[in-house]
């Protein structure tokens, strides 16, 4: 996105303090979203903020490879498919679209028995889907908007 800055202080603060804290907080907002304020949209935005911060300051080649543009597209589409697929899974097992109470997975009953456990898992599944979609969309948009005007070593 931008050029790499060779500042020890910047590297330390971003790499050791800020980005791990932001990513951890994003995951917390996602998995705790059913109890406290939070949820998929917020978690996706926070995770994308962590990725964007790391790309703007300590842009490593490994990070670019790990979240390259094709992979971000795949992440976004997977999120949408997870959301829509949860609804379709409920539909195939005899309920309405997105009616999580009938999702037919045996292992859910072993964790939380009954209808409510399935609803809990269904809600969590779509929250994960929303998180992936929002994360991928924001990261992709900022990645493309922030690219240098001269065509240089950007992978496509």
Partner 1 sequence: MRALCVLLAIATAALFIAASWHLPDRGDPHAPANVGVGPEYVERTEQDIGIENVVSAVLADYRSYDTLGETFVIFTGGVAVLFVLIRRGRDDQQT
Q: Which residues bind partner 1 (CB under 8 A)?
A: 33-41, 73, 76, 79-80, 83-84, 87, 97-98, 100, 116-117, 119-120, 122-123, 126-127, 129-130, 133-134, 136-138, 140-141, 144-145, 147, 149, 151, 154, 156
Least CB distance from residue 57 to partner 1, whole Å?
A: 22
The set of residues, in sequence order, having a beta carbon less than 8 Å from that of 153 and lying 6+ positions away, is: none
Round to the nearest angstrom and report the end-to-end CA distance of the chain.
13
The least CB distance from residue 126 to partner 1, in Å, is 6
Q: CA–CA separation, 60 vs 54, rounded Å? A: 8
| Nearest CB to partner 1, comparing residues 15 and 124 | 124
Instruction: Give the 3-state secondary structure percentages of the chain, helix then strand then coil, rounded to 5.
Output: 70, 0, 30
Q: Which is nearer to partner 1, 38 or 50 (CB)?
A: 38
Q: Which of 45, 20, 21 is nearest to 33 (CA)?
A: 45
Provide the minimum distance between the beta carbon of 12 and partner 1 in the complex, in angstroms, as a whole number: 33
């Amino acid at each position: 996105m931008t050029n790499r800055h060779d500042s020890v202080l910047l590297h330390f603060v971003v790499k050791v303090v800020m980005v791990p804290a932001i990513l951890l907080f994003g995951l917390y907002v996602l998995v705790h979203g059913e109890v406290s304020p939070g949820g998929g949209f917020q978690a996706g935005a926070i995770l994308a903020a962590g990725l964007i911060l790391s790309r703007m300051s300590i842009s490593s080649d490994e990070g670019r490879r790990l979240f390259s543009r094709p992979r971000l597209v795949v992440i976004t589409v997977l999120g949408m498919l997870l959301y829509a697929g949860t609804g379709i899974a409920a539909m195939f097992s005899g309920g309405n679209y997105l009616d999580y109470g009938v999702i037919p997975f045996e292992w859910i009953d072993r964790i939380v028995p009954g209808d409510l456990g399935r609803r809990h898992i269904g809600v969590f599944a779509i929250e994960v889907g929303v998180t992936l979609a929002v994360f991928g969309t924001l990261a992709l948009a900022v990645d493309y908007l922030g690219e240098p005007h001269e065509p240089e070593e950007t992978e496509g």
